[in-house]
Structure 1
Amino acid sequence: MQTQTSRIQQDLETLATYTSTPGQGVTRSSYSKEDTMAKEYLIGEMEKLHLHIYQDSVGTIFGRREGTIPDAPVVMFGSHYDSVVHGGAFDGAAGTVAALEVMRVLTEEHFCNDYPLELILMNAEEGATFGPCTGVTNSRAMVGTLTMEELRTVKNRFGQTKLEAMKEYGLNPDLASCVRKPGSIKNFVELHVEQGPVLDQAQVDVGLIRYLAGIGRYTLRFHGQTADSTAPMSSRKDALVAAAAFIQAFDAQIKALGEDVTGMMGKLDITPNSNQFVPERVEGKIEIRTFSKAITETTDFKQLIQTILDEVSHKYGIACELEEIRRVGYSNPTGPSIMNGDNVEKLRSICDHLGYRYLEINNGTGHDSMIMTDFCDTNMIYVPSRNHGVSHCPEEFTDYESIKKGADVLLEFIKEISKA
């Protein structure tokens, strides 16, 4: 049994037409008209397979295929189909389509699964819709960490809260009803485009994931005093000089923690941004990534940042602010997500059997799988991203044959783990 490239291409090209920005990439925001159109198409394809189709109260679509073992935990596989504004046609959608194609082949070949199978299609993975740390909505609802506080407070670019957008979309969120019982999911499996250049540069077919990095984010503000470029150096309160001093000290502190953690202040907004005036205000954003649970458990990153800020504030005579950007109910940084190691070995064997070249890869991007790792055995399959690995833009591209190879690996893996 193998998947069909032509059907994968047809699905992806059809989904790409459901965009609010034709000719300017794919914009399919959660709870939008385009979301509805994509959902209707996907449900139509699922109906052809005679699956039991149902939707939870936050909009997650499931297509269930019963197994031979009554009341057994489910093998769940799929991804998301929403996109960022002016995004690409492959992020999320490739995994959604690959999972749909796997279910098609299993149905056509009358495969006998012991554990029930559930195709999962999620419509609110992208945090860009409602702001940082508001993504992976559907998976958080399943594991019980999505909150009504978030739904009532975060807003999209149109000024709607997530709750308002959900209700306009036709949902009435009952978060308690979405939560899966512990032990009810045997495995969660997601295929995704890499969103990086490693697999393409290595000329391999498949990436096998062992870890997804934990993520921490913070906003810093430095308040100085504007002055003309002729102002004496001794009298200045230069917010940018203070920010530069912070960056240097923060970089040294992160390096001192070792190779298991990275961090930077990679975005600066300067006011006034002019060579003629002393900067009076700088806002910067920090991002921390780590593959070490020990680091997140033993290091208070907020206090580390605050200590450096206090030193900078005292030295340069300016006010500094620290604001956490964090997901409600989660630590900042979050801990790294660890995939099931035994299943990684199974995936290696499958790749060898199929003759597909593979590479074990740890990646810093966030996916619904990172939410699921603490709830059930979870694994990810990556397929190469072309064009130097660019993503979240119209130039995002993965060739259809590459997705087919990833889907073949997914198919064989689902067959193996769904047997008693």
Structure 2
Amino acid sequence: MHTNLDRIINDIETLATYTSTPGKGVTRSSYSKEDQMAKDYLKKEMEKIGLDVYEDAFATVFGQREGKNPDAPTIIIGSHYDSVVNGGRFDGTAGVIAALETLRVLEENHIENDYPIEIIAMNAEEGETFGPGSGVSNSRAMVGTLTEKELDMATNRFGETKREAMKNYGLEPDLEAAKREMSQVKSFLELHIEQGPNLEAQQTDIGLVEYLAGIGRYMIRFHGKFEDSTAAMDTRQDALIAASKFILALDELVKGLGDGITGTVGMINVTPNSNQYVPEFAEISVEIRTMDKAILDKVDVLEELKKIVETIEMDTNVKVEITERARIGYPNPTPPSVMDKETVKLMEEVCEQLNYSSMIINKGTGHDAMITAEYVPTNMIYVPSKDGISHHPDEWTDYEDLQKGIEVMLHTVKKLCQQD
């Protein structure tokens, strides 16, 4: 029982043509015509193997293979198929095709499943489309944590709110109807490209995940005083100096908390951005990643940032404000999302049986799996990313490497879907 490499390649290459930026990577934004084209393709492929295909009230596509016990909880496999602007062809899409190919092979080999199995194809995972905190929307709608307010808060690059974009897409979103009873889900399994260099560097076939790092995001704004560069040094209210002090203090704070947490300042804006004037305004973005829940139990990150701000305001006479960029209803930072340990062991056994090398990778990016992990047993399979590149036209995973990941999914699902 094996997957079909030619079929996998055709799926990935076909979906890559559904882009609004031909020749400049894959741009398949949520609720776009390219989104609809990809969705139509996936639905047709699901129908070819006899799946019961349906779409929920938040534009998430499901393809169900009934089980011998229709009342048993469902195994959900899949990922997202939307992309960032000028992204790659594998991010998200590889996981949807992994699920599709898994059910194709089960059907071709007449493998019976006791538990129902469903492909999930999500179209609004990328937070870039509507801004930070707006991603993983399909999975949040499914578990019931997405709010009506969030549909109207932010806009995409075309100036549409999420609700407006969905209506123009032909859908009236119904969050209550999209909510799923998660007690009726046995497990969620997602394959994804690593988006990092570890597998390639270690020449390892498969990455298995014990947890996904939690995320905290903040905007820090510094309000100083505009002056000419001839202004006396001891009277200045330099917003950039204040921002610099904050960045250094953040680095010291996070290093002092140990290996289970990281902090990054990845963006800075300065006004005026000129050597002739003292900066009157600066803003920076802070991202915290948490790998150890115990750290969050003993440290309030926001309060620690406020302490830094108080010191900087006294030292620089610059007014500083902190804005949290948390998802509504979620802590900031979120704790790590813990994967199902028994299934990790099962996948390690599958890798051994298939003669694939594997390693544990826990410092990955955010995925829909981090949302479902709070509600149902959840697991991830990583496949190598060339040079660790992702969200870029140069994103690449060798198809033979992707096929190995799909083989692991296939044999894992085969074991999970059959009762002992």
Give the TM-score of the pair, scaled to structure 1: 0.98
Please give the per-residue CA displacement for 1:305-351, whole angstroms capped at 9, x wherever unaligned. 11111110111111111111111111100111000011111100100
Match of 2:367 in 1: 367
Q: Secondary structure at the match of 2:385?
A: coil
Name the aligned partner's letter for residue 272 of structure 2. Answer: P
Trace 1:12-411 onto structure 2 (pairs within 5 A): 12-386=12-386, 388-411=387-410
Deviates more, 1:389-398 or 1:250-259: 250-259
Listed as ranges, the gaps of 5+ residues in structure 2 are none
Instruction: Output the CA distance in 2 between the equivalents of 1:190 and 1:315.
Output: 49
Is the Cα contact below 8 Å between 2:46 and 2:53 reproduced in 1? yes
Please give the per-residue CA displacement for 1:350-383, whole angstroms capped at 9, x wherever unaligned. 0000011111110230000000001100000000
Match of 1:416 in 2: 415
Name the aligned partner's letter for residue 396 of structure 2. Answer: F
Q: Secondary structure at the match of 1:57?
A: coil
Instruction: Output the CA distance in 2 between the equivalents of 1:83 and 1:297.
Output: 35
Match of 2:11 in 1: 11
Instruction: Output the CA distance in 1 between the equivalents of 2:406 and 2:271.
Output: 49
Instruction: Output the CA distance in 1 between the equivalents of 2:70 and 2:105.
Output: 23
Name the aligned partner's letter for residue 170 of structure 2. Answer: G
Name the aligned partner's letter for residue 206 of structure 1. Answer: I
Instruction: Output the CA distance in 1 between the equivalents of 2:355 and 2:264.
Output: 40
Of all paired residues, the percent bearing the same amino acid is 55
Instruction: Output the CA distance in 1 between the equivalents of 2:118 and 2:296.
Output: 33
Is the Cα contact below 8 Å between 2:63 and 2:120 reproduced in 1? yes
| Structure 1 residue 223, shift from structure 2 partner | 1.1
Name the aligned partner's letter for residue 412 of structure 1. Answer: H
Deviates more, 1:166-175 or 1:272-281: 272-281
Aligned positions, number: 419
Name the aligned partner's letter for residue 343 of structure 1. Answer: T
Is the Cα contact below 8 Å between 2:196 and 2:364 reproduced in 1? no
| Structure 1 residue 274, shift from structure 2 partner | 2.0
| Structure 1 residue 201, shift from structure 2 partner | 0.7
Instruction: Output the CA distance in 2 between the equivalents of 1:127 and 1:265.
Output: 18
Please give the per-residue CA displacement for 1:96-125, whole angstroms capped at 9, x wherever unaligned. 111111111011111110000001111110
Q: Secondary structure at the match of 1:101?
A: helix
Listed as ranges, the gaps of 5+ residues in structure 1 are none
Instruction: Output the CA distance in 2 between the equivalents of 1:347 and 1:117.
Output: 18
Instruction: Output the CA distance in 2 between the equivalents of 1:149 and 1:181.
Output: 22
| Structure 1 residue 299, shift from structure 2 partner | 2.0
Please give the per-residue CA displacement for 1:163-207, whole angstroms capped at 9, x wherever unaligned. 111111111111111222141100100000000111011111110
Is the Cα contact below 8 Å between 2:73 and 2:115 reproduced in 1? yes
Instruction: Output the CA distance in 2 between the equivalents of 1:348 and 1:90.
Output: 24
Is the Cα contact below 8 Å between 2:219 and 2:283 reproduced in 1? yes
Instruction: Output the CA distance in 2 between the equivalents of 1:228 and 1:5.
Output: 64
Name the aligned partner's letter for residue 29 of structure 2. Answer: S
Instruction: Output the CA distance in 2 between the equivalents of 1:339 and 1:348.
Output: 14
| Structure 1 residue 264, shift from structure 2 partner | 2.4
Instruction: Output the CA distance in 1 between the equivalents of 2:155 and 2:399.
Output: 35
Name the aligned partner's letter for residue 398 of structure 1. Answer: T
Please give the per-residue CA displacement for 1:61-80, whole angstroms capped at 9, x wherever unaligned. 11101111131100110010
CA-based RMSD of the aligned residues comes to 1.0
Q: Secondary structure at the match of 1:142?
A: helix
Instruction: Output the CA distance in 1 between the equivalents of 2:64 and 2:304.
Output: 47
| Structure 1 residue 304, shift from structure 2 partner | 1.1
Instruction: Output the CA distance in 2 between the equivalents of 1:147 and 1:228.
Output: 47
Instruction: Output the CA distance in 2 between the equivalents of 1:38 and 1:297.
Output: 43
Instruction: Output the CA distance in 2 between the equivalents of 1:121 and 1:198.
Output: 27
Is the Cα contact below 8 Å between 2:206 and 2:383 reproduced in 1? yes
Is the Cα contact below 8 Å between 1:289 and 1:364 reproduced in 2? no
Instruction: Output the CA distance in 2 between the equivalents of 1:176 and 1:358.
Output: 40
